Structure 1
Amino acid sequence: MSSTPEFPADFPAFWPSPDEYRPGPDPLDGIDPSFVFDFRTYDEIGDGQRWTTWFDVEPLSRGPEPRPAWVVESRGAIDTELGILKTGKEADVFLLERADPHDPDSGVVMAAKRYRDRDHRSFHRSSVYSEGRSVKRSRDERALKRKSTWGRIVASGEWAISEWDALKRLWQLGAAVPYPVQIDGTEILMEWINVDGETAPRLAQTRPDTELLESYYDQVRDFLALLVHDGIVHGDLSPFNILAAGERLVVIDLPQIVDLVGNPNGMDFLLRDCTNVCSWFKARGLAVDEQELFGELMAHAF
């Protein structure tokens, strides 16, 4: 089919004749490809969904770089609630899928930890774990001590920020913790630790053979040593907040992390962590001793 247009017989003479007609240059020729994009439309979101909050938070509220390849950074991504995973005294954990409808294969399921509001959370950890921490505003510090209404508001955010900072710090140290994706107010999105699409069981729920049991103990000891070498203590470590992802252990629940020296109870927390984990391993037949582990860890601290 000819691309030359047909002209009527009475076409003005000052226009080019059909033989002289040549199509003009492509208007996109010479344009930087970065200025050219495909326009795509998205359907309205449904119940239990929201547009991604990745771009709603400040850059410092996103996970450390280099980020894992599975982190979804598309502006067209949608967050879909998949249900509750775990309830707790300070926070509840939900499963949340983040995926771009135009690229569903790149979607990912994450754990969304949401700290309870001031009317539905407990203060049982605050006074002992937060010793040695600083609060930027004196008004907030006084409110925390009085456990006033404002103090409860501050505390909700304090625990979320504390866990966020701990996750980032430990991830960058190379510790076995979930990758922290982002924090938005009192919600932390983090890596979902799973085995074949099912949430990894807690260490307390496992019955490993002798070889795997020894490997698990070595991993726990190395985790504690890494923290102590950096001057911090988990503060609430037990077989109930260690997940067994196959042969790999991953530690969760870190809002109460304390400074080994800055907190006057730091040494006591470390000994308690040693006692909690050693008691479980001893009950399964492994010859370990909490005092020996404590002494070994203290050698890493000084």
Structure 2
Amino acid sequence: MSHDTSRPFPEDFLRPDDRSPVEGIDETFVFTFDTYADDLGAGQQWSRWEDLEALMRGPEPRPDWVVTSSGAIDTELGVLKTGKEADVFLVERSDPHDADGSVVMAAKRYRDTDHRTFHRAASYTEGRSMKRSRDNRALKRKSTWGRQVAAGEWAVSEWNALRRCWELGLPVPYPVQIDDTEIMMEWITHDGETAPRVAQVRPEPSVVQGFYDQLREALLTLVQAGLVHGDLSPYNTLAQGDRLVIIDLPQMVDLVGNPRGMDFLLRDCANMAGWFRSRGLEIDEQELFGDLMAHAF
């Protein structure tokens, strides 16, 4: 076959001395890449972030500390807390090629129905509706998220509640991702350690008053959105210094749609009012309840 001199061979683009590419090559064809380890250590796995659908990732805008690198590795650090329906672990997510791209998160893992020691009362799920149109669309498409929503797991309930509360500006951990029955979320710390439960602290009177102001504001935001925590107490609120953080949200109910919505709200008020009275702040749960209901509609 004869050589068409009008079409240069590839070697015509190379210098005769070192056979390297000639200068002036289009930079859009030049790229660099980092190599990652083929094998991971014990307790490690590749981040699943890239594999998850949009509804399985935290709401935007995301905090700067969220690691989204496709080369990130999740390393198990140990158990943080055990519970009746779920255990919480600490997991570090880091990119080996980004020294600053590392974060420790809390991973809440719900047990399957065969390994739970406590089953949620059906009263929590009464009147629960699919208010999010995107969840309805996911169900119709039968996507991964749609199948997870259809399963009705408590992990999905907590994930939706966390996302909703974060979008409302409430003091809750940022929800990073949900994958099957595991929710990864912000690890709430104080002075480098896990923030204590409110039930465990004895703050100064000024801090107690600040906690109450924050609690009232959070409850007002919830009821104005038609929501009730449903299981609020000093044991599922954290004291991050002088900041109050609300956790454990899988049983969140609709204030009006659930027949016991107002009963749950009154119980939430009573649980928290009792703690404030024990710390010297005279709070009446009936007055708090009435105040909230006055702003609910």
TM-score, normalisation: structure 1: 0.82
Q: Provide the residue aligned with 1:203 in structure 2.
A: 198
Q: Are residue 255 (structure 1) and residue 250 (structure 2) matched?
A: yes
Amino acid at match of 2:127: G
Among 95, 103, 114, the alignment partner of 1:100 is: 95
Amino acid at match of 2:211: Y
Q: Are residue 296 (structure 1) and residue 291 (structure 2) matched?
A: yes
Among 212, 237, 255, the alignment partner of 1:217 is: 212
CA contact (8 A) 2:50 2:70 kept: yes
- Alpha-carbon separation, structure 1, partners of 2:28 and 2:230: 53
Q: Provide the residue aligned with 2:113 in structure 1.
A: 118
CA-to-aligned-CA distance 1:113-134 (integer Å, 9 cap, x gap)? 0001121114532411011125
- Alpha-carbon separation, structure 2, partners of 1:208 and 1:33: 59
Q: Which runs of 5+ in 1 are unaligned?
A: 1-20, 136-152
- Alpha-carbon separation, structure 2, partners of 1:57 and 1:189: 13
Q: How does 1:142-181 map to 2 (within 5 A)?
A: 158-181=153-176
SS of 1:119's partner is helix
- Alpha-carbon separation, structure 1, partners of 2:61 and 2:28: 26
- Alpha-carbon separation, structure 1, partners of 2:202 and 2:65: 31
Among 162, 183, 199, the alignment partner of 2:178 is: 183
- Alpha-carbon separation, structure 2, partners of 1:52 and 1:25: 37
Among 20, 26, 32, the alignment partner of 1:37 is: 32
Q: Among all aligned residue pairs of Structure 1 and Structure 2, give the percentage whose two residues are the same amino acid.
A: 64
Q: Provide the residue aligned with 2:53 in structure 1.
A: 58
SS of 2:230's partner is coil
Q: Provide the residue aligned with 1:240 in structure 2.
A: 235
Change (3 A) 1:38 1:241: same
CA-to-aligned-CA distance 1:60-100 (integer Å, 9 cap, x gap)? 10000111111101111110000011111111100000001
| Deviation for aligned residue 1:41 | 3.2
Q: Provide the residue aligned with 1:87 in structure 2.
A: 82
Among 133, 136, 154, the alignment partner of 2:128 is: 133
Q: Are residue 270 (structure 1) and residue 269 (structure 2) matched?
A: no
CA contact (8 A) 1:116 1:156 kept: no
- Alpha-carbon separation, structure 2, partners of 1:63 and 1:34: 34
| Deviation for aligned residue 1:187 | 0.3
Q: Provide the residue aligned with 2:134 in structure 1.
A: none
CA contact (8 A) 2:92 2:105 kept: yes
TM-score, normalisation: structure 2: 0.84
SS of 2:84's partner is coil
Mean CA deviation greater in 176-185 or 117-126:
117-126
CA-to-aligned-CA distance 1:209-232 (integer Å, 9 cap, x gap)? 111110011111111111001000
| Deviation for aligned residue 1:195 | 1.2
Change (3 A) 1:93 1:27: farther
Change (3 A) 1:262 1:170: same
* CA root-mean-square deviation: 2.3
- Alpha-carbon separation, structure 1, partners of 2:23 and 2:79: 50
SS of 2:113's partner is coil
CA contact (8 A) 2:80 2:90 kept: yes
Amino acid at match of 1:73: T
CA contact (8 A) 1:91 1:115 kept: yes
